[in-house]
Amino acid sequence: MNKQARIFVAGHRGMVGSALVRRLAADGYQNVITRSRKELDLTDQAAVNRFFESEKIDVVLLAAARVGGILANATQPGEFIYENLVIETNVIHAAYRAKVERLVFFGSSCIYPKQCPQPIREEYLLTSPLEPTNDAYAIAKIAGVKLCEAYNREYNTQYVALMPTNLYGPNDNYDLKSSHVLPALLRKAHEAKLNGDATLTVWGSGTPLREFLHVDDLAAATLFVLEHNVTEGLFNVGVGNDLSIRELAECICKVVGFEGELVFDASKPDGTPRKLLDVSRLAHMGWQATIGLTDGIASTYRDFVESHAGSTPAAAIEA
Ligand code: GFB
């Protein structure tokens, strides 16, 4: 891909968008275009159309989304379905109108059915019902995948969809009510250690299995897809193995140095029992993740401590 290409990273302040911006800069891309929410509200269709008409974008990386962990998804389904549908339709349609040929849309492994055969292949999409704790978000993301496919078919665009498994890394959300499990447990372990607590509370039973991908690996996969001129399709992005939430909690406690007991809060939902992605589609093309979970958690923890140094953890990390 041309290093002078005008690449719009939508959602550049989020965990995925900021990883994309870092990676593009490291690879020498010179025209990376970003807009804060104040500068461009992606839920405002007229504003999005104006932006695309004036900016002559070549490539869109659509990482802007309303995201959250299991509790936020389960309790705010209206916000998750509405905001994601509107952002996707506005950006994808405006990109097509402005003759943007290439776009990468980011979804999530929760688009696949709850009771999927494991590991989950891309073709299992829409074969049986979704996990209820995040079906609103999943429906919005499935709509994004289908928008890309439909526009490619009707308008000859080259819009690709990447479905990462559960992500973690720098710039994650550490608010305990709305975050995903990995940042939540990092924060809880850090605070428990500082406070000298005897226990750390883990939601649910600890038995669900999850796969975790460092967001820098997702950025690497995105550049791989762009630089290999992939023009269409749905691609899972993961590491190819998973672990239980209990094992994750133990690994985090080890990295952080918290030596107390784990307590499981059965009043909180477990969510889908397992969602291990089959990553052979990208692997056959030559891409695989390189950041191991323990190393990734250790570097994320360093980043967490540095970003919030100088103030009490609880006060520093409110969303
Ligand atoms: O990461 P998480 O919130 O989302 O939760 P999902 C994963 C598992 O970790 C669930 C457990 O079984 C949680 O009950 N868990 C344990 C915790 N302790 C905690 C904690 O302190 N905080 C959180 N958040 N979880 C989301 C979807 O599903 O994953 C989204 O809701 C999206 O739509 C995202 O797909 C990647 O993996 O269950």
| pLDDT, tens digit (0-9, with 9 covering 90-100), for 37-49 | 999 999 999 999 9
The pLDDT value recorded for residue 308 is 73
- Is 189 a pocket residue for ligand 1 (Cβ < 6 Å)? no
- Is 137 a pocket residue for ligand 1 (Cβ < 6 Å)? yes
Question: Nearest CA to 23 among 14, 32, 11, 10?
Answer: 32
- Is 69 a pocket residue for ligand 1 (Cβ < 6 Å)? yes
The reply to whether 249 falls in a domain is no
Q: In angstroms, rounded to a whole number, what is the distance separating the alpha carbons of residues 120 and 279?
A: 8
Token match 């709305």: residue? 178
Amino acid at 4: Q
The reply to whether 154 falls in a domain is yes
The pLDDT value recorded for residue 311 is 45
Does the annotation flag 41 for ligand binding? Answer: no
For residue 119, say if its preceding peptide bond is cis, omega within 30 degrees of 0. yes
The reply to whether 85 falls in a domain is yes
The pLDDT value recorded for residue 270 is 97
- Is 183 a pocket residue for ligand 1 (Cβ < 6 Å)? no
What is the per-residue pLDDT across 134-168, written as a single tens digit (0 to 9) for each? 999 999 999 999 999 999 999 999 999 999 999 99
Residues 138 and 129 sit within 8 Å (Cβ to Cβ): no
Q: In angstroms, rounded to a whole number, what is the distance separating the alpha carbons of residues 140 and 46?
A: 21
Q: How far is CA 88 from CA 137, 147, 165, 221, in A?
A: 12, 8, 19, 21
Q: Mutate which of 199, 203, 213, 276 to test ligand 1's pocket (most atoms within 8 Å of Cβ)?
A: 203
Structural domain harbouring 138 = 7-172+211-240+274-291+313-318
Q: From ligand 1's centre to the CA of 254, what distance in Å?
A: 20
List the beta strands (DSSP E) in the chain: 6-10, 31-33, 59-62, 102-106, 158-164, 166-168, 199-203, 209-210, 212-214, 233-237, 243-244, 261-265
The reply to whether 63 falls in a domain is yes
Share of the chain above pLDDT 90, in %: 96
Q: If you average pLDDT over residues 79-102, what whole number do you get? A: 98
What is the per-residue pLDDT across 223-254, written as a single tens digit (0 to 9) for each? 999 999 999 999 999 999 999 999 999 999 99
The reply to whether 140 falls in a domain is yes
Phi/psi at 263 (5° precision): -120, 135
Active site residue 137: yes
- Residue 65's CATH number: 3.40.50.720
Q: From ligand 1's centre to the CA of 164, what distance in Å?
A: 15
